[in-house]
Amino acid sequence: MDSLRSAFLENPLWVYVALALAALVLIALWYERRTRRLLLLLAAPPVLAAGVALLAWAVQTDREQILRVSEEIVADISAGRSEALKTYLHEDFTGVYRGRIEMDKGRALALARSEPARYAVRDIRLGPAEVEVSGGRADATGTLYVDTGGRGRIPVHYHVEWVKIADGWRIRRADNIRAGPE
């Protein structure tokens, strides 16, 4: 079921290809037979494609929500703020920073405010991420690209555990796996 949800809502390209092929078959049949019924059936593929596009636009999957929240947090920290992080960290948050610094929610927020200035961070970008959702839990792994100016663009690999609560997804645990050249 998850793969169908993902295929229709997150990446419906295969649906559009199948509908385009169906339209080509209908065009060939109509060209050969020229019946009114086939002419009316020619309207089905574009209408169905529009319906799939509207559905994909209107429905945001759990995976898309997590990616959107991740982008919001990264943009906020890059701009020198930590409000989004404060909103999306779970009350029982734990984590490890730089492989050795244990964090709770308060320490994570303090680091989010102090570390960008300490390392002269000019910009932070979220790279590709893998998000696996299973019920009310999700695991995300990926790379942040931190531009420090003098030291260049540093990749920071991470793992984040998410939990779903009544009002959305929250970060339960975050670990900086590795920083440095890929």
The pLDDT of residue 182 is 46
Residue percentage of the chain with pLDDT more than 90: 49
Closest CA to 108 of 87, 138, 139, 79: 87
Q: How far apart are CA 21 and CA 15, in angstroms?
A: 10
HSE-up (13 A, CA, CB side) for residue 127: 15
Please write the tens of the pLDDT for every residue from 115-132.
888 778 888 999 989 999
Q: How far apart are CA 126 and CA 25, in angstroms?
A: 42
Please write the tens of the pLDDT for every residue from 13-49.
888 999 999 999 999 999 999 999 998 999 999 999 9
> At a CB cut-off of 8 Å and minimum separation 6, what does 149 contact?
120, 122
Please write the tens of the pLDDT for every residue from 146-155.
898 777 788 8
Structure token pair of residue 147: 């531009």
Domain ranges for the chain, please list them: 2-58, 62-179
Q: 143-176 b/e with 16+ CB inside 10 Å = b?
A: bbebeeeeeeebebbbbbbbebeeeebbbbbbbb
Q: Identify the architecture of domain 62-179 in CATH.
A: Roll (3.10)
Task: For the sheet with 101-103, list strands across it.
Answer: 101-103, 89-97, 168-179, 153-165, 137-147, 123-134
Structure token pair of residue 132: 């696996």
